[in-house]
Every structure is written in C-alpha cells, then in structure tokens.
Structure 1
Amino acid sequence: MKPLLLSIVSALLLLISPLSHAEQSKDMGSLEVHYSALNATFIPPAVAKAYGIKRSSANALINIAILDKNQSGKPALTAKISGNARNLLGTTKPLEFREVREGNAIYYLAEVRIANEENVTFNIDINAEGNRSGKLTFQQIFYEN
C-alpha cells in the first residue's frame, strides 16, 4: 500500500508544480537535490495518514530527495538534513526532517506552520553519504486554501 501512496504523492507534486513551483532541483557537485514545499492540504488524506502528515491550511510540507549524479540511474542517497524556515519578520522555525524509504527511493520530509501569504526562506544543510555536503536555500510564498 505504501509504494502506491508514495507514487500518488510524487505524481501530485509533479501535477501541481506548474502552479506553485512545487518541485525544483539544484546541482551540488556530485549531488542532485530535488526539493519541494507545498501546503499540506494538497496531500490526499490517505497519504497524509500513512506518513503521519498533518493536513491543515496552516501547515506546509517540505520534501527533499538526494540523487548521486556520478552513478548510472542516479540512485537515492542517505543524508543528514537539518535546517530552518524564516519569514520576512525574521521569525525562525527549526525543521525536523524524517527519512522515508520506499524500495530504492529515499525521501526526507519536514513540516512547518505557515500563515496565509507568508513568504518563507528555507535554509537547509545537507550532509550526504560519502562526505558530500551542500547548502540549499530557497524561498516560497504560501497561501491557505
């Protein structure tokens, strides 16, 4: 059941990306980091329940996957991920990422409280296996729905 749910989440992220820039990627040397941030109400109830995600218009979900550019097929990598979310008023909220494994796929999920029309800057430190690391910074405006 969980592989099906993960496929649904991945498809959902791809479908809404033209509307909200849901999935993006960044090259960090030999790493290819895919990331997305979206309002948790976009996650179907069954998927949210399976992964312990709180569906609320005041809750955002951050999803990160790390791939190895040096390997054919770009296998997923394990990593230690930490970071924070900061709004324009300077309020900083820590992000606590949890690892999700589905077959060969590895994802890191974190949730953060948001307000309507809140502009949030995410500062995320990635330390992937093989002593490879990098810093991911991106900004997103969230809208309650």
Structure 2
Amino acid sequence: MLAKKASILAILVLFFSSYAMAGDLRTDDGYVIYYNALNTTMLPKEVARAYGIVRSKNRAMLNVSVRKGGEGSLLQTKAVLAKVTAQAVNLTGQLKKLDMRRIEEGNADQRAIYYIAVFSITNEEMWNFTINVEPENQAKVEEIKFRQQFFVD
C-alpha cells in the first residue's frame, strides 16, 4: 500500500508540476503559487480513481499548490498549507463558486499539498477564474486571475 501511495504521489508531482509551470505567481514573501485548470480526461486513471475524481470530457479541474522557498527549483521548495478559495465566471455571467478540496501526500521531506475543485464545462466555453490564496501564518491574501477556454472532444 505504501508503494502504491508513493507511486501516486510521484505521478501527481510530475503531472501537476509540468502543467502548473504554465501558471505561477511568485510573491514578495517567498511563496510560489502554482495554478492550472485542465480537462479531467488528462488525469491518469489511477490518479483520478485514488482521489475520487470523475474523468469526463465535460468535467474540468482547477489545481492550486502553494510552496515556499527555493528561488530556482521546485525541488528546493516546501509545500505549505493555505486557505484557498476560488470562483469562475463564464462569458454569459454564470458564476461557479468552486469547492476547493485539500489533498495531502507524502512525509515531511517530500510533502505535497494540492487544492483541487472539479466542475462541469461545455465545448469552447471560456471561464474567468479568481483564486484567493492565504498561506498559513500569513495575513496577506494573494489574488490570482486568469482566463481559460475549454474544449470538449
């Protein structure tokens, strides 16, 4: 069972790291907030199953990770807890408050913390995301805004 958890953690770290690099925010306080949104069909089946995520062409997932330290490399940073809230608005004004769920894996040396929310999408739908992140023991809230269009095959 431990080997399975470790392999899932490795998949999560490799998978989300490569996608998350496209969207990141470096704060003045030494935090790096990685964020991305993707269709759930892009998740490996084992990862989706392990975390109760339904893989579907009509479902997308927002992923947020907060790390501290290490100027150059993801490996030089440490995962930190945060209060993460998010919402998305499509071009017709439909608002979705996203229910962010925390996922933790690993031990103190190789800890991974992800905040995810799964939501429905339609083909060519454009969403404007607003994410608020307050790292643990910080009084400052970082606001991230980005826009993404989703395609359903």
Q: Is the 8 A contact 1:22 1:38 kept in 2?
A: no
Identity %: 33
Identify the residue that residue 103 of structure 2 maps to in structure 1: 100
Identify the residue that residue 145 of structure 2 maps to in structure 1: 137
- 62 and 22 in structure 1: CA distance in 2 versus 1, 3 angstrom threshold: farther
Rounded to whole Å, the distance in 2 between the matches of 1:139 and 1:3 is 33
Letter in 2 for 1:128: P
Identify the residue that residue 32 of structure 2 maps to in structure 1: 32
Identify the residue that residue 8 of structure 1 maps to in structure 2: 11
Mind listing any 5+ residue stretches in structure 2 that lack a counterpart? none
Letter in 1 for 2:120: R
How many correspondences in the alignment?
A: 141
Which one has the largest radius of gyration?
2
- 14 and 76 in structure 1: CA distance in 2 versus 1, 3 angstrom threshold: closer
Mind listing any 5+ residue stretches in structure 1 that lack a counterpart? none
- After TM superposition, the score normalised by the length of structure 1 is 0.87
Superposition deviation, residue 27 in structure 1: 1.3
User: Equivalent of 2:135, from 118, 124, 128?
Assistant: 128
Q: Output one character per residue of 1:64-100: Cα deviation in whole Å (capped at 9) or x when no partner.
A: 1101137993211101111111111110101111111
Aligned residues: CA RMSD: 2.2
- 70 and 9 in structure 1: CA distance in 2 versus 1, 3 angstrom threshold: closer
Q: Is the 8 A contact 1:85 1:120 kept in 2?
A: yes
Rounded to whole Å, the distance in 2 between the matches of 1:109 and 1:23 is 17
User: Equivalent of 2:90, from 75, 79, 87?
Assistant: 87
Which segment is superposed worse, 84-93 or 24-33? 24-33
Runs of 4+ in 1 over 4 A off after TM superposition: none
Superposition deviation, residue 22 in structure 1: 7.3
